[in-house]
Structure 1
Amino acid sequence: MIFGIEKGKVLKYLEQISNIPFTVKLPDEEPIKVGNGESQFTVTVNRPLKKTDLLHSTSLALGEAYMNRDIEVEGDLFAALNIALSQIEKFAVDSHSLKKLLHSSTSAKNQKKEVSSHYDIGNDFYSLWLGNTMNYSCAYFKNEKDTLDEAQENKIDHILSKLNIKDGMSLLDIGCGWGYLLLEAAKRHHIHGVGITLSEEQAKGFQKKIEEEGLQDHLEVKIMDYRELKKSDLTFDRVVSVGMLEHVGRANYELFFENVDAVLKPQGLFLLHYISALKEHPGDPWIKKYIFPGGVIPSLREIIQICGDHRFYTLDVESLRQHYVKTLLCWRENYLQAMDQVKMMFDDQFIRMWELYLCSCAASFNNGVIDLHQILLSKGPKNDMPLTRCHLYE
């Protein structure tokens, strides 16, 4: 038995879904070749998975098996996951038994706890693999040979160009991370910016950079929930949010836009950059248990509809899905290169979990399971924008 299912049935299925040759090793049996040509990777099954676990949640069962070394992959983990996730629609999920995991509380208190569980595991850890910009979001590769840092710089250029930033404007970054976007905007355009985050570690790192760059008169970072914006009396010419909407939760999308509306000046621009999905979905059980507790990926269509309800005019929508595949693979390469230092910080289970996270996300983007969209919105009709997108590529 393999994965609690008859071996012959599994191997026949694997041959049908994969055009990449690979090898499967089972306990006390000869290696089995799947497909024609030289194997790109080898899957070793050290302990067969229970059929009941796979039916409970296929992704949770496979993810935990990899973390615990019940399954090991020799060779290209991304290639293996790219095959597996091409079939994700066939993965089983027992929604009833996983209800609390898939639909956690969207209260401010619980969401702060969930955000902190991911982003507060240490600035030293993130600095090992995010690159010099400390940008934890999709980069923008203008050229195939761009380095990760160059592509992250490109992303900042792209966003600031879309926002049509002018010297002296005010800019709010909701979910500012370690603040690189605001730091660059302040240095280039002398903006007055505020970054809000729920992560203590990110806020600490951002504040340190503000002081090192001597930008105290231009930038401020706050530990602040987006729900507090309506009562803040703050107003801004521009608002940006990069990779934060995924933490808001489907029940709170309307509330999120109400708060953006409350602080954005008339004729102001709002750029929303977020991981999206083709359809509405509660999320993947393994990702929600181990990586992003409470995380929900909005569909493009539901966000566009909400924008209209709040009289936000959609000026531009762009998919950066393929850019995120490259970004994640760059992060994974940096992560593996820093493995000696990572091993001094975390145990084997965490180390395997984090590489699985980076590779599975890359494979998910590659297969179109998830997407990345940037939406540019204006508060009311705005007639002084460039007539074409040419300025974005100059």
Structure 2
Amino acid sequence: MLSIEKNILKKSFEQIDKVPFKVDLMGKDSFIIGDGSPQFTVHINKDINKADLLKSTSLALGEAYMEKAIEIEGDLYTALDCVMSRFDKFKVDHKAMSKLIHTSTSASNQKKEVTSHYDIGNDFYKLWLDETLSYSCAYFEKDEDTLYQAQVNKVDYTLKKLNLKEGMSLLDIGCGWGFLLIEAAKKYNIHGLGITLSTEQAAEFKKRIKEEGLEDYLDVKIMDYRDLKKSDLTFDRVVSVGMLEHVGRSNYELFMDCASKVLKPEGLFLLHYISGKKENAGDPWIKKYIFPGGTIPSLREIISISFDHDFYTIGAESLRRHYVKTLLHWYNNFEANLDTIKTRFDEKFIRMWELYLCSCAASFNNGMIDLHQILFSKGVNNSLPLTRDYLYQH
């Protein structure tokens, strides 16, 4: 590596000074960033193409990590927490990345994109999620809560916000493996429908419905949210957890319209989704390797859109810090099951998944992204409790 390249590299790293760390250049040279004892070491084993860095810093560095051109000695999350603190300095050439960033939002393409992530295999997700198979932000009432308890807390908290009553109907858009609807049926005796594009999730949910003896209360369908608009379905309550991120910015209006069409007057709609500080097209590395087509809505654009679809905003809550803890639990579970994972996936996939879990945790920790739960009513609802005390009663 030429000295001028070292100087450029050192200048770039000096922007990332949250904690002190060491940079090793192919075992031939090294330098320390920050003051104090290094908390981790970045090993640069191969040159990284400058043109690639200018096209997309995250994609170039992400692929370099996957290919072991970059390795981290020490805690991966700590290192990525430093990197993500300066994410605003990363470059993206939107013209060069256009095909990757702006994919089709057609129903057929989005089904392909969604299933590419969620149909990896239920057995894979069972290795590192908890027993509820909840693949969304948990809710830690106590710092020492286990991941399982925190996911139970999240579902319980979400259902309380919906103010469910016996006999009501509940739609879950993007129902995952169905834990929320199962809990709703068991605790509130509601009738629920879950819709998903994942055949793996639908099969597991159907199995769980039968095991719980809830065939008279719950059903699951492989169904696109767009089909709700032309259905004859109506519900007292609608919930969507971690699905809006797959809709695409051009379809936010359509998504909100579909939810509104099936929700009864004065009904409640709880929307739980990853949000961004500002509207953007999405990160190239995440879009290429983790969530093809994934786009993170901002809080302000969803609130703004809601008014055009007869939604009244009751409240919005950030659960950002809960997602940091959730992701680190997932990462620790993933690492604890590496021996099994290695029998099914290659090293590149494993490094990709480790990078995904830790970089997302770091992104939430730095406030680059957030997690919001917004509670809407269809029109004005004056029958809800005047205070929120009921949310915190056990």
TM-score by shorter chain over 0.5: yes
Match of 1:96 in 2: 95
Whether 1:185 and 2:184 are equivalent positions in the alignment is: yes
Paired residue secondary structure (1:167): coil
Match of 2:9 in 1: 10
Q: Shift of the alpha carbon at 1:32?
A: 2.3
CA distance in 2, matches of 1:318, 1:10: 40
Paired residue secondary structure (1:6): helix
Deviates more, 1:200-209 or 1:38-47: 38-47
Q: Shift of the alpha carbon at 1:13?
A: 4.2
On the 8 A contact 2:18/2:85 being kept in 1, the answer is no
CA-based RMSD of the aligned residues comes to: 1.2
On the 8 A contact 1:116/1:198 being kept in 2, the answer is yes
> What is the TM-score of this pair, normalised by structure 2?
0.98
Number of aligned residue pairs: give it: 393
CA distance in 1, matches of 2:232, 2:209: 23
> What is the TM-score of this pair, normalised by structure 1?
0.98
CA distance in 2, matches of 1:5, 1:103: 36
Match of 1:23 in 2: 22
* CA deviation profile, 1:204-244 (whole Å, cap 9, x unmatched): 11011001111100000000000001222111100000000
Whether 1:247 and 2:274 are equivalent positions in the alignment is: no
Q: Shift of the alpha carbon at 1:322?
A: 0.6
* CA deviation profile, 1:139-191 (whole Å, cap 9, x unmatched): 00111111111110110111011000111110000000000000000111111
Q: What letter corresponds to residue 138 of structure 1 in structure 2? A: C
Paired residue secondary structure (1:240): strand
Q: What letter corresponds to residue 310 of structure 2 in structure 1? A: R
CA distance in 1, matches of 2:131, 2:272: 21
On the 8 A contact 2:247/2:255 being kept in 1, the answer is yes
Percent identity between the two aligned chains: 66
Paired residue secondary structure (2:227): helix
On the 8 A contact 1:5/1:51 being kept in 2, the answer is no
Paired residue secondary structure (2:374): strand
Unaligned runs of 5+ residues in structure 2 are none
Q: Shift of the alpha carbon at 1:23?
A: 1.3
Q: Shift of the alpha carbon at 1:86?
A: 1.2
Match of 1:317 in 2: 316
Q: Shift of the alpha carbon at 1:35?
A: 2.2
Structure 1 runs, 4 residues or longer, greater than 6 Å off: none
| Aligned pairs for 1:217-366 within 5 A | 217-366=216-365
On the 8 A contact 1:277/1:300 being kept in 2, the answer is yes
Q: Shift of the alpha carbon at 1:19?
A: 3.0
Match of 1:374 in 2: 373
CA distance in 2, matches of 1:42, 1:90: 21
* CA deviation profile, 1:24-70 (whole Å, cap 9, x unmatched): 11124244222232221111111010111100110000000000000
CA distance in 1, matches of 2:225, 2:145: 34
On the 8 A contact 2:172/2:193 being kept in 1, the answer is yes
Match of 1:133 in 2: 132
Match of 1:123 in 2: 122
Q: What letter corresponds to residue 369 of structure 1 in structure 2? A: M
Q: Shift of the alpha carbon at 1:78?
A: 0.8
Whether 1:87 and 2:99 are equivalent positions in the alignment is: no
* CA deviation profile, 1:102-131 (whole Å, cap 9, x unmatched): 110000000000000000000000000011
Paired residue secondary structure (2:72): strand
Match of 1:384 in 2: 383
CA distance in 1, matches of 2:12, 2:300: 34
